[in-house]
Structures are given as structure tokens and as C-alpha cells.
């Protein structure tokens, strides 16, 4: 990646497929981000970049890579394959880590006490969930063009997630129909379900 490409990537800001880290605080914390990317649609991690997009660099490539390897090989199940490259920007070292949309999902993360948890990516956050709905096919163009789904997408572009009851009120349909449609859109890969807390919520899985 060239310096101009790096600058363009940083300028796009953190989102569901991009996260900045000044440095890695621990293998446990970064394991959540890596697994969330893999469980959703993949993503890129820039280490040595502050939250505001300023390039600060990392003091030790070895130390950061050691934490990445600990996360992917020991804390994430099944083991997650990632790739990285080092970039030099104004004499500062930046690590660019690419996480694929995994074919082996779901990937679980073990925390400090050995408990396994699933994480998914919602906007610029990695959030826990109990289940991961595997998409079987893509939402049809006709469905995406419907007024109901367009209203849902517009809402989720501005908000992190939505519950069935909130969606029902938004488009004036029954809670049952709203819940059924949200789950249908999850199976079709447009949404991702977050059911760690109640009520169950849904977020955009892909950018549309």
C-alpha cells in the first residue's frame, strides 16, 4: 500500500470494516476485534493510528505482532488466519492488518477466565452476541427497493441497531411481521442479529 492509499484509507474513518489502534493493549482485547471482523464481512486494522486518524506509529513491530499471534492462535477458535504489512509514514511505523470474511465462522473468543464469546461488527464497534446467523443467499433487488426495507436501511445508516418493536413503529406493521422480516434479512446477509441483551436487536451487516 502506498502512502496516498494509506491516507485515503484513514480519511474514510472508522467503520464496520476499519478500526484504528494507537497500539495493542492486550491480546484479549484485540482478539474481539479480529473475531468480530471475521464473523461479519472482514475488515482492516491499522495499528499506529490514533482514533482521530493521526499517524503516531508503533515503537515495536515485534511486540504488536506477538499480541496478534497470541490472539489468533490461542484466544480465537477456530484459529484465525490474518495477514499484515508494515508501512512507513513520515518515519513512523504503521501495521496494516487484513482480516478476511472467514469461511470458518463462527469464531469464538476466549476471555481472561476462559469463557467463550461470539463477537460481531456493528458500525465501528465489536459487540457480543449469543448466535451468528449464517447467510444463505443475498437479499433480492426487489426486496431492497421496497419502501419498508429502504426505511429500515435509512434508519440503520444513522443508528447502531434496531429492535423489532422499534422497526414495527417505524414502518407501521405488526411486531410479528417486523420480527419475521428482520430475521429474514439476517438470513439473507443484509443484517446481523445481536441477541446478547434483550430485546434482540439488528444492525447492518453490509454497506448499502
pTM comes to 0.88
Question: What's the CATH number for 3-111?
Answer: 3.30.950.30
- Domain ranges in the chain are 3-111, 141-204
pLDDT digits (tens, 9 = 90+) for 126-135: 999 998 887 7
Average per-residue pLDDT for the chain:
92
Q: Does 145 have pLDDT greater than 70?
A: yes
Classify domain 141-204 at the CATH topology level. Answer: Arc Repressor Mutant, subunit A (1.10.10)
Q: Helices 147-158 and 175-187 meet at what angle, rounded to 10?
A: 80
Closest by Cα among 5, 78, 83, 66 to 30 = 66
pLDDT digits (tens, 9 = 90+) for 93-120: 999 999 999 999 999 999 999 999 999 9
Structure confidence at residue 42 as a pLDDT band (50, 70, 90): very high
Q: How far is it, in rounded angstroms, from Cα 107 to Cα 105?
A: 5
Query: How high is the pLDDT of residue 72?
Result: 97
Q: Which residue has the higher pLDDT, 62 or 206?
A: 62
Amino acid at each position: 500500500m502506498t502512502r496516498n492509499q494509506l491516507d485515503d484509507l484513514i480519511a474514510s474513518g472508522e467503520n464496520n470494516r476499519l478500526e484504528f489502534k494507537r497500539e495493542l493493549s492486550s491480546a484479549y482485547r484485540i482478539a474481539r476485534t479480529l473475531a468480530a471482523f471475521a464473523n461479519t464481512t472482514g475488515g482492516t486494522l491499522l495499528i499506529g493510528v490514533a482514533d482521530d486518524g493521526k499517524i503516531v506509529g508503533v515503537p515495536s513491530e515485534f511486540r504488536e505482532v506477538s499480541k496478534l499471534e497470541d490472539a489468533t492462535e490461542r484466544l480465537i477458535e477456530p484459529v484465525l488466519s490474518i495477514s499484515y504489512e508494515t508501512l512507513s509514514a513520515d518515519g513512523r511505523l504503521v501495521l496494516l492488518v487484513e482480516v478476511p470474511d472467514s469461511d470458518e465462522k463462527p469464531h469464538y473468543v476466549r476471555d481472561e477466565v476462559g469463557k467463550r464469546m461470539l463477537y460481531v461488527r456493528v458500525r465501528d464497534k465489536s459487540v457480543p452476541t449469543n448466535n451468528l446467523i449464517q447467510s444463505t443467499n443475498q437479499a433480492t433487488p426487489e426486496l431492497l427497493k421496497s419502501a419498508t426495507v429502504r426505511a429500515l436501511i435509512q434508519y440503520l445508516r444513522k443508528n447502531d441497531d434496531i429492535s423489532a418493536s422499534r422497526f414495527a413503529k417505524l414502518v407501521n406493521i405488526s411486531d410479528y411481521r417486523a420480527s419475521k422480516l428482520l430475521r429474514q434479512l439476517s438470513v439473507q446477509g443484509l443484517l446481523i442479529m445481536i441477541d446478547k441483551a434483550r430485546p434482540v436487536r439488528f444492525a447492518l451487516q453490509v454497506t448499502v
